[in-house]
Structure 1
Amino acid sequence: MSTRVPFQHIDAANAETLISSGNIIILDVREADSFERGHIDGAKNATIANLFNILDGVARDRSILVYCYHGYASQEFGQLLSDFCYTNVYSLNGGYEAWINRADTLAG
C-alpha cells in the first residue's frame, strides 16, 4: 500500500516557476463558464465527475497544480488527489485571482 503524501500550498510566483519547468498537469476546478472566460494556459477544466478521466494513465508522481476561484475548493481537490496517492499535488493559494494579479505582486 502506498503512503499518502499531503498536497502542498503554493503561491502564484512559485506556481509560475513550476509551470515553466514543464511536465505538469494544471487543473482548473472552477465552473465551466468561468474557465471559458479565462484560465491558466494549458489548464484543463476539472470536476469531480471528470477528474479521474483527465488523470487516467497519469503517473502518481507527476506534478499536478490545482486552482479554483480563491484557493478553497482547490484544497479539497488537493486532498482528494493526495488520498488517491498522487504525490506531487499543489493547491494555488489565492486561486485564479492570485494568478491574474501576480504581475502586480511582482511589480509592487
Structure 2
Amino acid sequence: MKGESQMFLQAISIWGIIDIILIVVMLYILGNQLYLWYQGRRVAHFLENQEFRHGMHVAQIIDLRDKDNFDAGHIMGARNVPYAQFKIMKESIRKDMPVYLYDQGKSLSTRIAVRLHKDGYTDIYILKNGFDKWDGRVKKRS
C-alpha cells in the first residue's frame, strides 16, 4: 500500500498539480456565476428592450456604469449610480417604485439586484442584454 501511494505521488508532475489547481479555480468561477445567475432570476425580472421601454416611464432607471460611460451615452431618464459608489448612493433609490437596472451587460445589475432584494426592495427589473444591445432613445452629454 505504501509503495503504491509513493508511486502515485511520483507520477504527479508539477504540471499535473497546476492543471488540478486551474480546474478547481475554473469550477469555482463557474459555480459562482451559476449561483449569481440563479440569485438574479430569483430576485429580479429580466426584460427585453421593448418590455424595458414599456415600463420605464413609471420606474427609477438606474445606470450602474461609471460616469465616463454614462456621459458618453445613456438611456433617456436614467440616473447614474456607479457600481463602485452604490453603497453610498443606495439611499437615494426609493422602495415604493419599480427599480430598472442596467449596465454594459447584466452582471453588475444582477449583483445589485441581489443587494437591493436583501435590503427589502421587491420590484426589481434588469435590462436583459444591457446597454450594449439597447435600441431605444439615448441621451448623450457633450
TM bracket, shorter-chain basis: 0.7 to 0.9
SS at match of 2:100: strand
The aligned counterpart of 2:54 is 17
Indicate the percent of aligned positions where both proteins have the same amino acid: 23
Query: Which structure is richer in relative contact order (CA contacts within 8 A, separation 6 or more)?
Result: 1
| Structure 1 stretches lacking a partner, 5+ long | 104-108
Matched ranges for 1:1-108 at <5 A: 6-20=43-57, 22=58, 24-48=59-83, 50-51=85-86, 54-56=89-91, 58-100=93-135
Q: Secondary structure at the residue paired with 2:68? A: helix
Q: Between Structure 1 and Structure 2, whose CA radius of gyration is higher?
A: 2
Q: Which moved more, 1:72-81 or 1:52-61?
A: 52-61
Instruction: Describe the shift of the 1:48–1:69 C-alpha distance in structure 2 as closer, same or farther (beyond 3 A).
Output: closer
RMSD: 2.2
TM-score (norm 2): 0.58
Given that residues 62 and 87 in structure 1 are in contact (C-alpha distance below 8 angstroms), is that contact kept between their aligned partners in structure 2? Answer: no
Q: 1:70 to 1:59 in 2, by over 3 A?
A: closer
Runs of 5+ in structure 2 lacking a partner?
1-41, 138-142
Q: Which has the higher helix share?
A: 2
